[in-house]
């Protein structure tokens, strides 16, 4: 689905978000959050709540779990202890329960067949990003991986997107961002990128169709009908 069902985006470079776009990582994150909470003798939060809370980095996720809501700040000492426990739990389970969303493998394979550069761009820290990509056999699909701590700033700041475009020597207007949230849309708009979003991702329960993406699709398997590769 898109604003114009016949619209196709002309691109020479594709950047793809990780969590919520390629990978359903909620099962791993929920497992780690509940493990953290158990060690703190606090109530477990469960997968349903974690699915609503993710999308702004794991530090914010931990804070939301501690206060049991989207906004609010826990005590600093509690947060530091909790985050340390979360990192331990998440390192142990990262990639164990996560799965590719339906259509992802088909979409990636089609993009690769077009011989254009692919980059993965995520706000997840590198210590979690690389193992997850490798666990799900995605790591070798990308010529470049930008994690949340690769550069001084992360999405929704345009810096990561512009860094990738500069790396490949391709203009932002010919560089497509594929994501699942308003965070991705804001970053793309600030960088001058066209933006394609998927409907199934993590957008805090809001319908991404109303967020102003250029094109919205239900599966990455629909990519051949959504973009034109310029060579």
Q: Yes or no: say if 85 and 35 are a contact pair by the CB < 8 Å rule.
A: yes
Among 17, 24, 34, 214, the active-site one is: 17
Alpha-carbon distance of 111 to 105, in angstroms, equals 10
Q: Which of 3-7, 15-19, 138-142 has the lowest mean pLDDT?
A: 3-7
Alpha-carbon distance of 138 to 99, in angstroms, equals 11
Q: Return the HEC string of 22-78.
A: CEECHHHHHHHHHHHHHHCCCCCCHHHHHHHHCCCCHHHHHHHHHHCCCCCCCCHHH
Average of per-residue pLDDT across 10-15: 95
Q: Respond yes or no: is residue 180 known to be catalytic.
A: no
Alpha-carbon distance of 198 to 215, in angstroms, equals 9
Long-range contacts: 142-151, Cβ < 8 Å, 24+?
142/118, 143/117, 143/118, 143/119, 143/168, 144/117, 144/119, 144/120, 144/168, 145/119, 145/120, 145/121, 146/119, 146/120, 146/121, 146/122, 147/122, 147/123, 148/57, 148/122, 148/123, 148/124, 149/125, 150/126
HSE, side-chain direction, 13 A CA sphere, residue 164: 35
Average pLDDT, the chain: 94
230: pLDDT confidence band, cut at 50, 70 and 90? confident
| pLDDT tens figures, 88-107 | 999 999 999 999 999 999 99
Decide if pLDDT at 188 tops 50. yes
Decide if pLDDT at 121 tops 50. yes
Instruction: Record the tokens describing residue 26, joined without a space.
Output: 């909620």
Decide if pLDDT at 4 tops 60. no
CA-to-CA separations, 1 to 48, 134, 143, 175, 192, in angstroms, rounded = 26, 31, 29, 20, 22
- Please tell me the predicted confidence (pLDDT) of residue 2: 42
Q: Which of 19-33, 63-77, 148-162, 197-211 has the lowest mean pLDDT?
A: 197-211
- Please tell me the predicted confidence (pLDDT) of residue 5: 46
1: pLDDT confidence band, cut at 50, 70 and 90? very low
Helix (H, G, I), strand (E, B) or coil at 209: helix
- The residue with greater pLDDT, 4 or 13, is 13
Domains annotated on the chain, with CATH: 9-25+98-229 (3.40.50.1000), 26-93 (1.10.150.240)
């Amino acid at each position: 689905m898109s604003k114009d069902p016949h619209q196709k985006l002309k691109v020479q470079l594709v950047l793809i978000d990780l969590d919520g776009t390629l990978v359903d990582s909620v099962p791993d994150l929920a497992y780690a959050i509940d493990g953290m909470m158990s060690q703190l003798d606090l109530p477990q939060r469960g997968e349903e709540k974690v699915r609503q809370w993710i999308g702004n980095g794991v530090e914010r996720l931990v804070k939301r779990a501690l206060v049991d809501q989207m906004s609010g700040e826990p005590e600093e000492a509690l947060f530091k202890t909790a985050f340390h426990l979360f990192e331990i739990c998440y390192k142990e389970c990262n990639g164990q329960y996560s799965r590719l969303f339906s259509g992802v493998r088909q979409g990636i394979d089609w993009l690769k067949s077009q011989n254009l550069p692919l980059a993965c761009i995520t706000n997840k820290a590198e210590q979690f990003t690389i193992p997850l990509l490798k666990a799900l056999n995605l790591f070798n699909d990308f010529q470049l991986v930008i994690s949340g701590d690769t550069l001084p700033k992360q999405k929704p700041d345009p810096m990561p997107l512009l860094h990738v475009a500069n790396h490949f020597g391709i203009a932002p207007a010919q560089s497509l961002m594929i994501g699942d949230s308003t965070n991705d849309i804001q970053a793309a708009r600030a960088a001058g990128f066209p933006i394609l979003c998927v409907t199934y991702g993590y957008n805090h329960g809001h319908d991404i169709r109303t967020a102003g993406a250029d094109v919205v699709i239900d599966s990455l398997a629909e990519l051949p009908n959504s973009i034109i590769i310029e060579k």
